[in-house]
Amino acid sequence: MRVVIADDAVLLREGLIRLLAETGHEVVAAVGDGPSLVSAVVEHKPDVSIVDVRMPPSHTDEGLRAAVEARSKLPGTPVLVLSQYVEVSYADDLLADGRGGIGYLLKDRVSEVGDFLDGLARVAAGGTVLDPEVVAQLFARRRRGDPLRTLTAREREVLGLMAEGRSNTAIAKHLVVTEGAVEKHVRNIFTKLDLPPDDEQHRRVLAVLAYLKG
Amino acid sequence: MPSVENMTRPAPLPLSAPAVVRPRWLVRLLADTAYVIAAFPLGIAGFIVLFAGFAVGIGNAATLLGIPVLSATMYVARMFARGERAMAARIVRVPTATVRYKEPAADAAWWRRIITPLGDGQSWLDLGHGLLAFFTSLVSFILVIAWWAGGIAGTLYPLWAWAIPQDPNDQQFHQLLGLPDTRLADIAVQTSMGLVLLITLPPVVRAAAVLRALPARGMLFSTAALRDRITNLEEQTVQARAQTAAAVSAEATALRRLERDIHDGPQQRLVRLAMDLGRAQHQLDTDPEAARLTVTEALAQTRETLAELRALSRGIAPPILADRGLVAAVSALAGRSTVPVEVDYPGLATTGAGTEPARLDPAVENAAYFVIAEALTNVAKHSHATECAVSLERTGAYLVIEIRDNGVGGAHVAKGQGLAGLADRVRAAGGVLTIDSPDGGPTRLLAELPCV
């Protein structure tokens, strides 16, 4: 995959470049601030961009805003946002355009090299990958009278794993159940949340997420 | 009894004293006498005018016609009070507060102008004083005149006794005391009485003057003093609030910087460390040699993280400050500075064997330490200085910190060079920060922190 990296910390940028190079990816551009990210994405049209939230000049959510801007200039360009902290409101900003190809992970997750590369690939393919912490916060902020409250504990677990971008097979493996059982849970979730069934895995996840952030 | 009659004759006014150096008691005596004598006609005039005005005003208040009379009386009382204040201030110690009356607004209606003094507490006190002062001025006037006249006339009795016609049937004072009826006895008794009066003259006149002035002190100044005290307290409250705000602001700034330091430092390094170890784990399967290299790098990374954490924790609460005190901590700071720093601390020697000087309050030490630390950071970052000097000195109730450098100057609180945070810190500690930094340098920071 052709990747653009945006992180102002040279230390982390170098680490990511090495990691990606060693696993057979090509880093086409590595930049250190928001505006450079936007122009790099427009110029290189990468398969995926890895973006740090906090970058100069504002040192606040520069990376996030740059990612949103890049996606408005090049609609649907996949972006994986990395941050030291995860905040639901940041996730909301990213998911606001309703397209796939969004990831939002804690920086720590990079150390799980396999999972990280897996997530990166899913984002590049148009899926949505959210950090388990974001999912937990999304669940925590549910209001009263929310249909999500009608989900069983197992169904919530499945929904959370879906939000993290896992396939039914991966969920089945994670929960040590059969794929058929997972499919049943997924159908139940859609029924309870009044979502029409759909064939495509990532579109369903997207639908669930659209519901989660509303 | 002609001699007794003579005693009440007024003494000459003692105002025209020669221009030589006079003892203090004499100055006091003359001033007190002048005050009592001058205040007497004022007291009588005040009493007559005010009593009449007050009586007419109150008597006709029911018909409303008395209200303007009463109001006018208040204004007259105010005039008398003003004169009294000016005089009394020379006799008794009065509060330095300025007296304020309730004034009608500039565009107030005529009836409001009339009503206003009636609602003013100080005006009523003025009126009350005008009525009361008559009695005190009468008593003090009699005392002063009697003592002066008796003292002078009695002492000089031998000089004029011959001029008094003597009738053998007269009962003289010395005869009443049972002394023989001789001229000598007469003169001796009269003169000694005069001397006693003369000797007791200063304390008696003082007492009379104080008696005269005390109602003024109590009634004409008291509310003003109270009001001033309230104003003072209000000012202190405002100051305390500003101090709290500065403390909160300094705290917030410090916390933000701490978060930033953690984010940019150790956190970043640990993420990279995790990343590298993740890579190493991955490489173990494919390329063990590369894995070894990655682990070696990770180890170096760990050491750097530890060093960074150490520096950071020192920045939060330097252990040496708690253990060894301000001077040692500042010396350590100076030692780590990239710009050479000279530290001078007259009278604030380091703790050690022998005479251990009293440690400053921990809050003051802490404030002083961080003021110096931040100032030195600024010097290193912005001044381009090649040398810097820090001096610490205890002056009275203040710890005075001076930081000088030979840099380019132009430092200003508004420039966002951390000086605003520094100013906040100083203010939070109740101190004052002075910055003298002309363009082209040198820069001199002066922080004065209260130590009590």
Task: Assess B302–A contact: CB distance below 8 Å, yes or no.
Answer: no
| More confident site: B168 or B212 | B212
- Does A7 have pLDDT greater than 50? yes
Q: How far is CA B248 from the centre of its chain?
A: 27
Of B268, B278, B290, which is closest to A12 when you measure between CB atoms? Answer: B268
Please, what is the average pLDDT of chain A?
Answer: 84
Q: How far apart are CA B337 and CA B390, in angstroms?
A: 12
- Does A206 have pLDDT greater than 70? no
Region A59-66 average pLDDT: 88
Alpha-carbon separation of residue B89 from B25, B28, B137, B326, B360 (angstroms): 18, 13, 16, 50, 43
Q: Residue A142's pLDDT is what? A: 61
Token pair 């549910």 is at which residue? A142
- Does B224 have pLDDT greater than 80? no
pLDDT for A132-147, tens place per residue? 888 777 777 665 666 7
Is residue A113 within 8 Å of residue B282, measured between CB atoms?
yes
DSSP assigned state of B355: S
Angle at B318 between CA B313 and CA B322, to 5 degrees: 140
Question: What class, spelled out in words, does domain A147-213 have in CATH?
Answer: mainly alpha
Nearest CA to CA, how far is B358 from chain A (Å)?
45
Task: Assess B263–A contact: CB distance below 8 Å, yes or no.
Answer: yes
SS3 labels along B361-397: CHHHHHHHHHHHHHHHHHHHHHHCCCCEEEEEEEECC
pLDDT band at A5 (very low <50, low <70, confident <90, very high): very high
pLDDT for B141-175, tens place per residue? 999 999 999 999 888 888 888 887 777 777 777 77
Q: Residue B146's pLDDT is what? A: 92
Region A167-187 average pLDDT: 89
Q: Mean pLDDT lowest for which of A54-63, A84-93, B4-13, B391-400?
A: B4-13
Task: Assess B269–A contact: CB distance below 8 Å, yes or no.
Answer: yes
Q: Residue A26's pLDDT is what? A: 94
Could you give the residue range(s) of every CATH 1.10.10.10 domain in chain A? 147-213
Q: Residue A176's pLDDT is what? A: 92
- Does B398 have pLDDT greater than 50? yes
Q: Residue B5's pLDDT is what? A: 43
From the list B354, B339, B431, the residue with the least C-alpha distance to B386 is B339
Q: What proportions of chain A, in percent to the nearest 5, are helix, strand and coil?
A: 55, 15, 30
pLDDT band at B113 (very low <50, low <70, confident <90, very high): confident
Is residue A79 within 8 Å of residue A67, measured between CB atoms?
yes
Q: Residue B424's pLDDT is what? A: 84
Of B267, B278, B283, which is closest to A112 when you measure between CB atoms? Answer: B278
**Order of strands, edge to edge, in the sheet holding A26-31?**
A26-31, A2-6, A48-52, A79-83, A102-106, A128-130
CB contact under 8 A, A9 and B264: yes
- Does B352 have pLDDT greater than 50? no
Q: Residue B7's pLDDT is what? A: 44
The answer for residues whose C-beta is within 8 angstroms of residue B188's C-beta and 6 or more apart is: B174
Q: Mean pLDDT lowest for which of A44-53, A73-82, B88-97?
A: B88-97
Total-model pTM: 0.56
Region A23-32 average pLDDT: 93
Instruction: Give the type of residue at A91.
Output: A
From the list B240, B238, B297, the residue with the least C-alpha distance to B272 is B297
Q: How far apart are CA A123 and CA A113, in angstroms?
A: 15
Nearest CA to CA, how far is B332 from chain A (Å)?
30
CB contact under 8 A, A12 and B290: no
Q: Residue A67's pLDDT is what? A: 92
| Lookup: tokens for A55 | 């970058």
| More confident site: B122 or B96 | B122
CB contact under 8 A, A111 and B264: no
Q: Mean pLDDT lowest for which of A67-71, A164-168, A209-213, B83-87?
A: A209-213
Nearest CA to CA, how far is B442 from chain A (Å)?
31
DSSP assigned state of B92: S
Task: Assess B267–A contact: CB distance below 8 Å, yes or no.
Answer: yes
CATH annotation of A2-144: 3.40.50.2300
- Does B366 have pLDDT greater than 50? yes
- Does B19 have pLDDT greater than 70? no
- Chain A CA closest to residue B283: A22
Q: How far apart are CA B206 and CA B210, in angstroms?
A: 6
Q: Report the percentage of chain B scoring pLDDT > 70.
A: 92
Strands A2-6 and A26-31: parallel
From the list B152, B192, B131, the residue with the least C-alpha distance to B29 is B152
pLDDT band at B96 (very low <50, low <70, confident <90, very high): low
Q: What is the CA radius of gyration of chain B?
A: 41
- Which residues on A lie below 8 Å from B275 (Cβ)? 12, 15-16, 19, 110-111
| Lookup: tokens for B1 | 């009894």
From the list B246, B406, B390, B385, the residue with the least C-alpha distance to B326 is B390
Q: Residue B348's pLDDT is what? A: 73
Highest mean pLDDT among A63-72, B209-218, B406-415: A63-72
| More confident site: B302 or B324 | B302
| Lookup: tokens for B231 | 């104003």
CB pairs under 8 A between A and B: 48
- Does B4 have pLDDT greater than 60? no
Is residue B359 within 8 Å of residue B353, measured between CB atoms?
no
ipTM reported for the complex, 2 dp: 0.74
Of B267, B282, B283, which is closest to A84 when you measure between CB atoms? Answer: B267
Could you give the residue range(s) of every CATH 3.40.50.2300 domain in chain A? 2-144
| Lookup: tokens for A46 | 């990468």
